Amino acid sequence: MFYFESEHAGVTKLKRSGAALDWDSIQKLKYTWAVAQETMRLYPTAPGVFREVITDITYEGFTIPKGWKVP
């Protein structure tokens, strides 16, 4: 729990009390995002549910274009 607490404390120090997190703040939560990704990998939301690629990416020499659906 220490990593979450210190990471979240660092981000919330920069925000006003009660202010919502914005995209830049969320991008700073690297450890939290890694945990969320691992959770999604181990326990997918539902079999057969696809996610949409939001930007063109290249993975192991293959290009996956923006808009494609991937498992």
What pLDDT digit, counting tens, does each position of 10-66 carry? 777 777 777 777 888 878 888 888 888 898 888 877 777 788 999 999 988 999 999
Q: Are 31 and 4 in contact (CB under 8 A)?
A: yes
Contact between 50 and 67 (Cβ < 8 Å)? no
Q: In angstroms, how far is CA 56 from the centroid of its own chain?
A: 17
Q: Look at the chain and count its residues.
A: 71
Structure token pair of residue 66: 């923006």
Does this model's pTM top 0.85? My answer is no
pLDDT band at 68 (very low <50, low <70, confident <90, very high): very high
How many CB atoms are located within 10 Å of the residue 58 CB? 8
Given a contact cutoff of 8 angstroms between Cβ atoms, the answer to whether 11 and 28 are in contact is: yes
